[in-house]
């Protein structure tokens, strides 16, 4: 998720979850400040995998 065009390129890595009653939930998990490239480096891939693999209890 990117906030504003022309600002610092901060990102929030999130996980999308659908509840058993059909509610769509977005869990904002990690703030990554000042992303400098369009490609993902290994650090960012590790963050995404960590956020995606965690089981949130809602």
pLDDT of residue 18: 81
Specify the pLDDT at position 4.
66
Residue 49 parent element (H or E): helix 42-53
pLDDT tens-digit map of 1-57: 566 677 777 888 888 888 788 887 787 778 777 777 778 889 888 888 888 888 777
Please report where in the chains the tokens 């891939």 appear, as a residue: 45
pLDDT at position 1, please? 54
Q: Which of 30, 24, 34, 31 is nearest to 51 (CA)?
A: 30
The pTM assigned to this predicted structure is: 0.60
Q: Which helix (H) or strand (E) holds 42?
A: helix 42-53
């Amino acid at each position: 998720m990117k906030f504003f065009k022309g600002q610092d390129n901060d990102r929030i890595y999130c996980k999308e979850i659908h509840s058993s009653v059909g509610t769509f939930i977005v869990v904002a998990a990690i703030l990554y400040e000042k992303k400098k490239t369009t490609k993902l480096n290994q650090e960012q891939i590790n963050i995404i995998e960590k956020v995606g693999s965690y089981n949130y209890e809602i």
